[in-house]
């Protein structure tokens, strides 16, 4: 599959968000949030070269993460994310238990609400 994706510029491995929600965030917020979220629970996280991060949370719980207008929640059969080995996509936290290919249990988006709200409040408080 990797060879096929490499030979076709622009091709990607796309998956619908039917079994999980994808919480799309600006990269600075997503990476700051991951520092704190890693201490609470394992949350799979994708990093995109375009400057976005996707936190993967339990299905139908991403709505709890809508703490700012910059948050986009992709959910259900109409939502989607690109996965590695797509060009420009990598795992920050893969969705499996360390050292195995056993899927990890996805946590509720509610687990990230406070952390995301704090990251956004700091972002908007710092002059740009």
pLDDT, tens digit, 9 for 90 and up, residues 10-50: 778 999 999 999 999 999 999 999 999 988 888 999 999 99
Residues 6+ apart with CB under 8 A from 70: 25, 26, 29, 120
pTM above 0.85, yes or no: yes
Q: How many Å apart are CA 106 and CA 116, to the nearest integer?
A: 17
Q: How many Å apart are CA 22 and CA 10, to the nearest integer?
A: 21
| Ranges of H-type helices in 41-96 | none
Is the pLDDT assigned to residue 90 strictly greater than 70? yes
Q: Which of 15, 11, 12 is nearest to 76 (CA)?
A: 15
């Amino acid at each position: 599959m990797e060879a096929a994706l490499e030979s076709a510029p622009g091709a990607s491995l796309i998956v619908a968000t039917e079994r999980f929600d994808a919480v799309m965030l600006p990269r600075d917020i997503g990476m700051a949030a991951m520092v704190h979220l890693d201490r609470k629970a394992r949350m799979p996280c994708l990093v995109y070269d375009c400057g976005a991060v996707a936190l993967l949370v339990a299905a139908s719980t991403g709505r709890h993460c809508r703490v700012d207008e910059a948050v986009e929640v992709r959910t259900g059969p109409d939502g989607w994310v690109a996965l590695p080995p797509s060009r420009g996509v990598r795992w920050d936290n893969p969705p499996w238990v360390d050292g195995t290919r056993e899927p990890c249990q996805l946590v509720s988006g509610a687990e990230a609400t406070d952390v995301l709200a704090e990251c956004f409040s700091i972002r908007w408080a710092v002059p740009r």
